[in-house]
Amino acid sequence: MATSLLSQLKEMTTVVADTGDLEAIRRFQPQDATTNPSLILQAAQQEERRARLASIAKESTDLDDAVDRVAVDIGSEISKLVPGYVSTEVSARLSFDRDATVTKAHSLIERYAQHGVGPERILIKMASTWEGIQAARQLERDGIRTNLTLLFGFAQAQACADAGATLISPFVGRILDWHKARSPEADFSGANDPGVQSVKRIYDHYKGHGYPTIVMGASFRNVGEIQALAGCDRLTISPALLNELDELQGELPRQLTPMGASSSVEQELTQADFRWEMNEDEMATDKLAEGIRKFMADQRKLEELLGKLRQS
């Protein structure tokens, strides 16, 4: 009997829902769910949430408190629908502040505890800046699991493995966007997709060196990118692409397979090494900065919405 591509993908890869839409999560029954400032903003704008949001906004001490309460409120609802991790992101404002990121992460974990959600269920997300990665190093030591996002370059992946991050989210589609903008006539389909190539390189490197950090491909533009990464540890997928995969049938061959770990030990990247390699990688530098700006723009929109609700 023919099975959907989504069913076959779930046999070899942990499927994660990239959404704050509870109905989509109920329908597709993913293992985990990820959120970010843009997805929280989308969820917050749903009419059925308006009364709850207004209540949270009016009970909050300030807008920063309100934003965190909304993120944890939505994350707690999601935690009842998925058996695995829920990812919640710290403010993009803190992307270059290690200590403030650590403090915020502990605060978010405490808020989840008040909702009855334990730290083993939560991944704290932060941008893969040097400061974000070093915050993750400390948080992992503190028993708080981390998800390093906005990851575009190999140096970021190396530093995340060095820091012992639980999970990384290398972005596929945004890497493709960058290359397509510069070479609109090029063939970037299938294995030619530079975002797919980036995730494969990271995956092979992690497995070849025995790093336990989970590789979770993210930011997909089409189902072809997902098919090309079948077998990756995890893939976080939007509801629209989950629906497309669910409706497609045919054979889905495994593309990524873990290799045996080598005995070689890599030297950790220093801060100077990291910054130099990022500077040499124009795409990673551009997309990391742009990603932080975009997340912050959506957080400001959420703050504006909550500010109006506080005064209503």
Whether residue 237 contacts residue 226, with contact meaning beta carbons closer than 8 Å, is answered with yes
d(CA 275, CA 98): 16
d(CA 200, CA 210): 15
d(CA 256, CA 258): 7
Residue 125 catalytic?
yes
What tokens were used for 73? 């409120």
User: Tell me, what amino acid is at 249?
Assistant: Q
Considering 104, 125, 200, 207, which one is annotated as catalytic? 125
Phi-psi region of 126 (alpha: psi -120 to 50; beta: other; left: phi over 0): beta
What tokens were used for 244? 């497309």
What tokens were used for 164? 């012992």
115-121 own/partner pairs: CB under 8 Å, 24+ apart: 115/72, 115/73, 115/76, 116/76, 117/75, 117/76, 117/79, 117/86, 119/143, 119/144, 119/145, 120/145, 121/79, 121/84, 121/85, 121/86
Whether residue 263 contacts residue 236, with contact meaning beta carbons closer than 8 Å, is answered with no
Burial class (CB in 10 A: 0-12, 13-18, 19+), 307: middle
Count each helix (H run) and each strand (E run) in the chain, helices first: 14, 8
Q: Which residues have a catalytic role annotated?
A: 125
